[in-house]
Amino acid sequence: MSASRPTVHWIYAHPQENSFNARLFRDGVEALSRDHDVEITDLYAQRFDPVLAAQDLGEPHGREGNVVDLMGEAFAAGQLPADVIEEQRKLGAADLVVLQFPLWWYGPPAILKGWFDRVLTNGFAYGPVDAQTGLPLRYGEGLLAGRRALVIVTAGEDDRSIGERGISGDLDSLMFPLTHGTLWYTGIEPLDLHVVHDADGIDAAGIDHESARLVERLSGLGDESPSHPYRRLRDGDYHGTRALRADLLPGRTDLGIHRVTVE
């Protein structure tokens, strides 16, 4: 991570050069570049291959073993493909990670999921059991700890239909596999989501408004913290099990139980 200007790794997943997402991407990168060093991963423009395959598992190709272990061995031996090594370099140098994508079928585009599959390898993004705590280096303690992430997602629905009681489900819950199961798992602290609702029908004035709203959000990220951060595995809330202790929020089973309230 940079010792002078903060470094940002902006990972962008949208296939159209003239889309609403592309406008947000350009304006956001331009705004951050004024006082950050910004590195870009434009997944569609780079034609990033999202398919985890034999070349990701080290040499010789086709050897047997657990995929997680093989990828860890390939990382340690410097045998990962060049495109994965480059993405790990950019991510490893970042203080802030920005993930931008449209909501498709209640999740990110497949190309972004494939980026996670190939780039977040054992030994790079998460690690073994910590000798002092006896706990695995995950859920706040992953090997990418010390970084924060802003997830920018555009949704075609309004904030009621994709809200807490909406027919499409709550967006924070829909993003749980990303914010908790991917980012927090590897130690990256996710900030509150930046959501654009009704993105499919937005007009020119709305596009200008959303661009300005994003730039304003980006300008204050240095002082921002998540409003309801996730619980750390090491803090004892899951002591003796991987389920939340029975005395904490008894009777609740929603995904919100894995967050703490900041006083």
Neighbouring C-alpha atoms within 13 Å toward the C-beta of 133: 15
Architecture category of domain 7-226 in CATH: 3-Layer(aba) Sandwich (3.40)
Amino acid 1: pLDDT: 52
The residues with which 259 forms a beta bridge, in sequence order, are 230
pLDDT, tens digit only, all 263 positions of the chain: 545 789 999 999 999 999 999 999 999 999 999 999 999 999 999 999 999 999 999 988 878 889 999 999 999 999 999 999 999 999 999 999 999 999 999 999 999 999 999 999 999 999 887 777 777 888 998 899 999 999 999 998 787 888 788 887 889 999 999 999 999 999 999 999 999 998 888 899 999 999 999 999 999 988 898 989 999 988 889 876 688 999 999 999 999 999 997 65
- Helix or strand run (H / E) with residue 101: strand 96-102
pTM: 0.92
Please list the residues that pair with 136 across neighbouring strands.
129
Locate 77 and state its tokens: 């031996």
Count of all residues that appear for the chain in the document? 263
Quick one: how far is CA 164 from the chain centroid? 22
**Per-residue model confidence (pLDDT) at position 2:** 47
The answer to whether 238 touches 245, Cβ cutoff 8 Å, is yes
pLDDT value at position 263? Answer: 56
Residues 6 or more apart whose Cβ sits within 8 Å of residue 68 = 122
Per-domain boundaries in the chain: 7-226
CB under 8 Å to 154, separation ≥6 — which residues?
Answer: 20, 21, 24, 101, 102, 103, 195, 196, 199
pLDDT score for 10: 97
Number of H helices, E strands in the chain: 7, 6
- Cα separation values, 233 from 69, 186, 239, Å: 22, 12, 8
Contact 182, 119 (CB under 8 A): no
